[in-house]
Amino acid sequence: MTEPRERVKAAAFFDLDNTLMQGASLYYFARGLAARKYFTTTDLLRFGWSQVKFRLLAAEHAGDIAEARQAALAFIEGWRVEDVRRLSEEIFDELMAERIWAGTRAIAEQHIADGDRVWLVTAAPVELGEVISRRLGLTGALGTVAEIRDGVYTGRLVGEMLHGPAKETAVRAMAAAEGFDLADCYAYSDSVNDLPMLSSVGHPTAVNPDGALRRHARARSWQIRDFRTGRKAAKVAVPATLAAGVLAGAVAAGLAIRARRD
């Protein structure tokens, strides 16, 4: 009798916003900062409106990404890394923990049980990704990396925002460093923007997919997992569209923060 072949250990790469977590991590981070008077509710609403335009008018062109990048840099320039990590931990516990999708978390936990390495891959700051990864017992996080000097953010990025094709590059680098064959690896995302990452692995799954990704997944017989009800999907859409609005409005917030400090 032939013995069953042992499952190949692999890596699983999870997008964060709307894939592992309901809504957008940066939106909730911004809400937590607003509650702590780092900026005003008006700033938060401005961020939200900017992101509604960013998402609904389409619009992930190079200019949009460049604008978001510059806004993100203005937002964190001069902040101490230890403060960002502390605030990330507090705000995750207050606002994000209850918004983790139970279904996606169960998939991640099964990968861990199977001996796989499980990584978050997010455009959010890597410090926020690392906090969420630790809280969920995952291997680690790949995220946007900002330059740090003497424990303070300089306002410059190390490389590019971890978005779109940059995610595929990061996944390939991690798989090579860990010694995994991408054909044996898994990737999970809700967004058509993550097609490069999803297409790079042998086992892609569309989770809570947007319309374009759902169509793409069906055409290629990819697995689709949707943990939303119709009611929940409607609720999720609003905070999800706010995330890059936080970035797009961050210059104003950064100025407001500096003005308060002064």
Q: Is the pLDDT of residue 10 over 70?
A: yes
Task: Give the start-end residues of each E strand in the chain.
Answer: 11-14, 117-125, 140-144, 146-149, 152-157, 186-189, 203-207, 223-225
For 188, the 3-state DSSP assignment is: strand
Determine how many CB atoms are found less than 10 A away from the CB of residue 261.
7
Q: The whole model's pTM is what?
A: 0.81
Average pLDDT, the chain: 80
Cite the active site residues: 15, 17
Half-sphere exposure of 125 (CA within 13 A, CB side): 28
Segment 171-208, tens digit of pLDDT: 999 999 999 999 999 999 999 999 999 999 999 999 99
**Distance (Å, rounded) from C-alpha 72 to C-alpha 254?**
9
Could you tell me which residue, 71 or 235, shows the higher pLDDT? 71
Indicate whether 13 pLDDT > 90: yes
Q: Is 177 exposed, middle or buried (0-12, 13-18, 19+ CB in 10 A)?
A: exposed
